Structure 1
C-alpha cells in the first residue's frame, strides 16, 4: 500500500524592503516630534539639580551653624552663577578668610553656563540658633519656561517654588 506524502510548503519569514522603509519613516517622524520634549526634560532636570545643590548648601550651613555655634555662611566665590562655598566664620567678620575659616562644602557652577542664577543677597549668614542674618531670594532660570525661586526667611526656613521664567535665559 502506498501512502500519499503531503507536500510541505515552506514560507519565508521576514520583512520586505518596502515594509522596512515604512517602519523607519514612521520611527523617524516619531523621534523628530519627541526631540523638543527631550530637550525640555533635560533642561528641567538640570534646573532641579542646580536648585537642589543650592538648597543643600543653605541647609548644610544652617545645620552646621547650630551644631558648631559659629556663624555659617553660604556665599558665591565670584558670582552666584559660579562656584558656591559654605564655610564656618570662625573669626566672626562675615567674610571668608583663608587659613582661618573652615570650608565645609563647595558646589561647582552649573554646566557650561546654561543657568542664570541671581540673588537679592550677596551671601546668606546663619547664626548658632539657626536664624538667617541675611534673608532674601535666589532665582535660578534656564532657557526653558520655568524657573525656581528659593526664599530664605529671617527665621532660617527655606521655601522653594517654581515660577514663570520672565528672563527666558
Structure 2
C-alpha cells in the first residue's frame, strides 16, 4: 500500500520524508532561459508585411501593380485552394480594411460582389487611392471558407501590403 520508505516499521513515518527532503535539498534548481525581448514596433508604412500566407488547404496573397499618387488603383486578394479543399462558393467572402495614412479606401468592407469565385480560386478586387507619394500600408482581414466533401473550414487571416506610391 505505501512505499517502503513510508511504511512504519518501528521508525517514525516521517523519517522517510525527511530523508527525501535532505537528499533533494542540494539538487540544483532548473534554470529558465531569459525571455526574448519583443521586437520594436515600427510606424505604419515600414511595418513588416504579411502579403502571402501558405497553410494546409490554401494559399492566400495580396498584391497590386504600380501605384501613382492621386490615381485610382486596385489591390487583389487571391485565395487558392489546395486539394482536397475547394473554395466555398456560397460563403460571404469579405475583406475588412484597416485605416491607413495616405490611402483612401472606397469602402471599409469589400464584399463578395467585388470577387470572382470558382472552386479552386477566389480573386477579390480592393479599390483604393494613394493620396500622397511615399510608402503606405494597405492592410485588413480576409474572411473566407474552404471545404472538402466532409467538412467546411471558416477562416480569417490578416493581410498587409507595402505600397510605394510615385
User: Could you tell me the TM-score, scaled by structure 1's length?
Assistant: 0.24
Question: Which is richer in strand?
Answer: 2
Q: RCO higher in 1 or 2 (8 Å CA, sep ≥ 6)?
A: 2
User: Could you tell me the TM-score, scaled by structure 2's length?
Assistant: 0.25
